Amino acid sequence: MASGLKRVILSGVFTLLTLPTPRKTSTHQNLKTFRVNFTGFGEHFLNIEIHSYIDTVDIVEFKNTSEDLNLHILDIIQSAGTRIAIPANIEYHEQENVSSPDSKQQAEQRIETFRTNSKQ
């Protein structure tokens, strides 16, 4: 992610948290303290930490405000031309072809049976 792109995202999130905009709902009035920081580099990503404190004891209001902020942050990231890095793991398992003595003996018997039947 280029430095300019990082600044666009940080600026967009900062604006979302501080300035009144038509996109904000009335529940955003409960945001009391916030921080937006670029905190470091990952292997394939940049870490941006967003801390916002929602001043309410109503769990529904808290969840609605939190969801609204997260959706707006996704919009900011997508409008900057990038996307969220989603962690993924791929595991490869190699199957071993280790034959047991019994399976070897069974295979030899099948081959012998095939040879005997094909001679007849």
The rounded distance, in Å, linking the Cα atoms of 54 and 84 is 23
Q: Would you say the pTM of this structure is higher than 0.75?
A: no
Low-confidence ranges of the chain (pLDDT < 70): 1-3, 18-29, 32-33, 95-101, 119-120
For the packed helices 3-18 and 59-79, what is the interaxial angle rounded to 10 degrees? 150
The per-residue pLDDT for range 77-99, each reduced to its tens digit, is 888 887 777 777 777 777 666 56
Residue 114 has φ and ψ, to the nearest 5°, of -60, -45
End-to-end CA distance of the chain: 73
* Rounded Cα distance, 7 and 112, in Å: 74
The CA R_g of the chain, rounded to the nearest whole Å, is 30
Task: Give the Cα separation of 102 and 6 in Å (integer).
Answer: 63
Cβ proximity of 77 and 9 under 8 Å: yes
